[in-house]
């Protein structure tokens, strides 16, 4: 257990010192201004965020911003690079994000009964976008979404085609009625 914690600490330190990451400049600035190691500043921010997501006003908005802002930024950056692997990584995140959002809509009543919901949801989002090869979105996509899609994509394609045909017919009929 102690070895895993030490490895995790080393990974976080490496991430906080990586000049390619957008947050590095903030933690560097905070470290210079306060004289406190950026690792401790990071963990302080983490603890504050955790408490805020449990007790704070607007925790839902704060959680959803965490799940949206950084991934949106990284998605736009990925679109601007010639490589396709980063595009695929972020598309996978957005598929999982959308699936979670739709599922969450139908379980909205449970959200208010579960005291640590926003904290756990935020942790889920972070697990899904953390810059690791096998992050949460990749795990969920490979083990849940992709097998389901492979099994049912012909029926979904057919249904989507029928919906598109019906919508086209409905629009054409309404345009012809107006003329």
70 and 140 belong to one structural domain: yes
Per the structure, how many domains does the chain have? 2
Model confidence over 107-157: pLDDT tens digits?
A: 767 676 777 888 999 999 999 998 878 889 999 999 999 999 999 888 988
B/e letters for 60-75, b = 16+ CB within 10 Å, e = fewer, are: eebbbebbeebbeebb
Model confidence over 28-57: pLDDT tens digits?
A: 888 889 999 888 888 898 899 888 888 888
pLDDT band per the 50, 70, 90 thresholds, residue 1 = low
15 and 71 belong to one structural domain: no
69 and 41 belong to one structural domain: no
52 and 89 belong to one structural domain: no
Q: Is 35 left (phi over 0), alpha (psi -120 to 50) or beta?
A: left
105 and 177 belong to one structural domain: yes
């Amino acid at each position: 257990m102690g070895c895993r914690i030490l490895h995790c600490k080393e990974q976080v330190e490496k991430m906080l010192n990586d000049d390619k990451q957008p947050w590095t400049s903030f933690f560097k600035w905070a470290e210079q201004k306060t004289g406190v190691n950026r690792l401790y500043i990071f963990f302080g921010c983490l603890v504050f965020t955790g408490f805020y997501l449990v007790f704070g006003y607007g925790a839902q908005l704060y959680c959803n911003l965490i799940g949206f802002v950084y991934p949106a930024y990284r998605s736009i950056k990925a679109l601007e690079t010639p490589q396709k692997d980063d595009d695929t990584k972020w598309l996978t995140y957005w598929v999982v994000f959308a699936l979670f959002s739709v599922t969450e809509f139908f379980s909205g009543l449970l959200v208010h009964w579960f005291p640590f919901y926003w904290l756990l949801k935020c942790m889920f989002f972070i697990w899904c976008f953390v810059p690791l090869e096998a992050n949460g979105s990749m795990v969920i996509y490979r083990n849940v979404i992709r097998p389901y899609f492979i099994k049912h994509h012909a029926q979904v394609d057919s249904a989507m085609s029928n919906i598109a045909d019906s919508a086209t017919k409905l629009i054409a009929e309404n345009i012809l009625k107006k003329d």
